[in-house]
A and B are shown apart, each in its own frame.
Chain A
Amino acid sequence: MLVRLGFPLGLLLLAALASLIIALGIGSAQLSPGQVWQVVLGHLGDIGQDEGNALARTMVLELRLPRALSAFAVGGLLAVAGALMQVLLRNPLADPYVLGLSGGASIGALAAMLGGLGGLAISGSAFGGALVSTLLVFGLVHGSGSWTPSRLLLTGVVVAAGWGAVITLMLALSPAERLPGMLYWLMGDLSYARAPWSPLLLLLATCVIVMPLGRSLNVLARGPQQAAALGVAVRPLEWCIYIVASLLTAAAVTTAGSIGFVGLVVPHMLRLLLGNDQRLILPACALAGGTLLMLADTLARTMIAPEQLPVGVITALLGVPTFLFLLYRSR
């Protein structure tokens, strides 16, 4: 058991560390691997902090590191949220982006930004938006008594389309000089991300909290009747999943705007490779999603430097062909 879970997770952890090293080592400023290494060493052992290294230190520790860690946290959050939604809906299409959670969170955040609010207010507003979206979708589907995953999915997709229209309206009404910033933000962008703390902690906490639920989630993935027969409190668990997914999405959206396809593609790839055991899939999603976004962001900020690309473009460009391939193969 421990080996079966530990081996893939260990590999993914190694991959995450490797991509962290890549993210720290590559940038538009040409630092040699030796310089980067010295910065890390100097930081570890308190040596080599001479003047010549000051610039390299700033680059690596104050520009690249916070951004890389934010990317990791956001990717992990989105992938875990996607995996949870897919269990909940027993539908491979489910992800926070498709189901309107990202849209709701984006509207909350954009409204706060337009209102001149900042910091915590934006996060709170984004969470509110994600929660409203959740309640709307679930409320509409539950209201009619019995519900099917496909009905929930359809409702989510339509709500997402509605949020899309509201976002377009907000963009059309906002001052012209703010447009480029808002558009970039909507495409997903990590250049704002400076404080990786809260998303990282949230990701860690989610993994710790959700892990014990793994068995129940495994049962739920087989269907609510079976889960109920096996003694799982289905309704509370479903609500719990949805609220956790909203929280994760809101945290991800406030850190980096709305980034698509991480929540969709990462859980799928892992399920194909590792099977459908949620105890393994959820932490694996956290690691793999984080790794993917960290690498995508490294590409986004270096590909045509000094011009910066929004990371959402890279994840979508990577995600779309991957998803099409998976879909084609699964026929």
Chain B
Amino acid sequence: MANKTANQTLFKHRGATGPALLLSRLILSLSMLSGVVSNAVLADDHSRCEMDDRSRKVCLYTPAQRIATLSPGATELTYAAGAGDQVVAVVSYSDYPPEAKDVVSVGSHTRIDLEALVGLAPDLVIGWVTGNPAEQLETLEALGMPVFYIEPRNFEGVASAIERLARLAGTESAGQAVADNFRLRMAELAAQYRDREPVRTFYQVWDEPLMSVNDAHLIGQVIEICGGVNVFGEQARLVPRIDDEAVLAANPEAIVAGGMGEENRHWLTHWEQYSNLTAVADDNLFFVPPSLIQRPTPRLMEGSQILCEKLDIARQRRERD
């Protein structure tokens, strides 16, 4: 198994196995004596083992020195864990922190250029459970690269991902501080805002098609700690597709939207035509920069802070009326 393969012996002990080799032998080889390097039996004395978000144990002999992060979120979390200097490969849209833009890209998270990735010889690959093609990550494992899957689904998941990445990368102290700070800050926000007067909130993820989030979504959880009530929280799908009519029927008190860019507010002006909406009547159309709230990373602290403050503005406007 790949996760039993020690990282420093990546190519040395990779056994010549797999259908590809067998087939190539059939086609190319005249003799049956091609060199089968037997899989060296590795002693089970790994110093660092961590459980990934697919509940698989991934073990390394030594801290990972060449890390490939296969989603923008994974890149951000790895940098947050203090292991930014060890990142050798990222995917497109890995734009935070800014240093990550200078790291070699190996394609998009939906299609990875395996050759480019293998050529960089990473000793740890950070995969995205639902975002990366499973077959490609299985190929990497078959080639002997340990793949650590992450996909934080709640605040604790973000903190623990940072801790686990830090341990795998040998940057425990830096990662621990970031994770602790994140836990503390989110707990503070929750303590401050969760029990205030509920504000019926609609969060708009996308405009065409119109999409929101349910309560299980990370953004839904932010709304919850800010003392908001997500009007589409009961929807079955994590990211429900809805229409204007559903929003009018739900009549939220506040509408929060991201947008295509960081400053783009035109999704909100769309709602101004419905003057009957409480959110429009009270002027509670709020913009939160999407990168601060849509990625499961420490920047969520900032995004949550903004969202909580916006919902509090809605409360104050209610008192004023």
Contact = CB atoms under 8 A, between A and B. Distances in A.
B12 A305 contact: no
A184 B110 CA distance: 9
Interface stretch (B23-31, B191-199, B225-233): B23-31
B97 interface: no
A231 interface: no
B20 A61 contact: yes
Contacts, number: 122
B143 to A, nearest CB: 6
A58 B34 contact: no
Interface stretch (B130-138, B156-164, B251-259, B298-306): B130-138
B111 A308 contact: yes
B118 A55 contact: yes
B189 interface: no
Nearest to A306: B113
Given A194-B135, A196-B23, A307-B108, A178 B143 contact: no
Given A176-B239, A192-B136, A59 B119 contact: yes
A69 B23 contact: yes
B118 A58 contact: yes
A87 B119 CA distance: 47
A189 B238 CA distance: 28
B18 A62 contact: yes
Interface residues of B, number: 47
Contacts of B92: 307
A195 B25 CA distance: 14
Contact of B107 (A58, A181, A307): A307
Interface residues of A, number: 42
B33 interface: yes
Nearest to A174: B237
Contacts of A55: 11, 118-119, 121
Contacts of B142: 62, 194
A29 interface: yes
Grouping DSSP codes into helix (H, G, I), strand (E, B) and loop, the A interface class, with mixed when no group exceeds half, is helix
Given A46-B31, A195-B19, A58 B111 contact: no
A43 B24 contact: yes
Interface string A133-147: 000000000000000
A180 B36 CA distance: 38
B119 A44 contact: no
Interface string B211-229: 1000000000000000000
B98 interface: no
B115 interface: yes
B261 interface: no
A308 B114 CA distance: 10
B19 A197 contact: yes
Interface string B164-206: 0000000000000000000000000000000000000000000
A268 interface: no
Contact of B114 (A40, A65, A172, A191): A191
Interface of B: 11-12, 14, 18-21, 23-25, 28-31, 33-35, 37, 92, 105-108, 110-116, 118-119, 121, 130-131, 133, 135-136, 138-139, 142-143, 211, 237-239, 241
23 contacts: A28-B115, A29-B115, A43-B29, A44-B30, A46-B34, A54-B14, A55-B11, A61-B20, A61-B24, A62-B143, A63-B114, A65-B23, A66-B23, A175-B237, A175-B238, A175-B239, A181-B133, A194-B19, A194-B20, A194-B135, A194-B138, A305-B115, A308-B112
Interface of A: 27-29, 40, 43-46, 49, 51, 54-55, 58-59, 61-66, 69, 172, 175-178, 180-181, 184, 189, 191-192, 194-197, 200, 301, 305-308
